[in-house]
């Protein structure tokens, strides 16, 4: 296995959509219940990269085996320096270090963009995701109980966060220019 991480491209949309579809249909990490189409995934890639936010894929050779991206945490201007991450690994490749590889690359890219805080919003309070984020330095920031109904049960949402760059110790310079 030769893993690499690179920026996502539009032609990765089919693989990304397939990875996410499995999680939508069989998992609780996302509260979506209908998988986005390949065209909708193209739009997601274009939206994220069009804002210069990081969107990366992990590849084993030429095969996309996972992806991660960061988007501004909320739309309001005061949130310009806070981002939320999303990380998904192909269901048959989980547990092999791909998630950690993606998260480390995403942290670097988000810091380079000028984000000062990254938040993980972990649907279903998924233990593997909590452990992954914790192993990369994220700290527990909150628990929202019973936030989603999926798979025949109420699901909790865990919030975790990490400082990027100088975090909140200094004022930012300008979005994407920190």
Each as own residue / partner, the long-range contacts of residues 146-155 (CB below 8 Å, 24 or more positions apart, any chain) are: 147/31, 147/123, 148/28, 148/31, 148/123, 148/124, 150/28, 150/31, 150/33, 150/124, 151/28, 155/28, 155/31, 155/123, 155/124, 155/125
Q: Provide the whole-model pTM.
A: 0.94
Phi-psi region of 74 (alpha: psi -120 to 50; beta: other; left: phi over 0): beta
pLDDT in tens, the chain (178 residues): 689 999 999 999 999 999 999 999 999 999 999 999 999 999 999 999 999 999 999 999 999 999 999 999 999 999 999 999 999 999 999 989 999 999 999 999 999 999 999 999 999 999 999 999 999 999 999 999 999 999 999 999 999 999 999 999 999 876 554 4
Residue 88, SS3 per DSSP: strand
Residue 26 belongs to what H/E stretch?
helix 13-26
């Amino acid at each position: 296995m030769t893993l690499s991480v690179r920026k996502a491209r539009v032609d990765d949309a089919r693989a990304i959509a397939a990875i996410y579809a499995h999680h939508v249909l069989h998992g609780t990490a996302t509260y979506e219940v209908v998988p986005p189409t390949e065209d909708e995934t193209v739009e997601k890639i274009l939206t994220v990269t069009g804002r210069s936010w990081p969107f990366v894929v992990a590849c084993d050779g030429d095969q996309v085996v996972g992806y991660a991206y960061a988007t501004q945490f909320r739309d309001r201007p005061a949130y310009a320096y806070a981002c939320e991450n999303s990380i998904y690994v192909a269901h048959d490749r989980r547990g092999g270090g791909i998630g950690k590889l993606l998260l480390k690359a995403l942290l670097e890219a988000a810091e380079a963009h000028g984000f000062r805080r990254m938040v993980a919003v972990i649907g279903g309070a998924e233990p593997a995701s909590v452990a992954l984020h914790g192993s990369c330095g994220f700290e527990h920031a909150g628990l929202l109980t019973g936030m989603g109904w999926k798979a025949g049960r109420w699901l909790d949402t865990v919030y975790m966060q990490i400082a990027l760059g100088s975090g909140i110790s200094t004022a930012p310079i300008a979005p994407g220019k920190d």
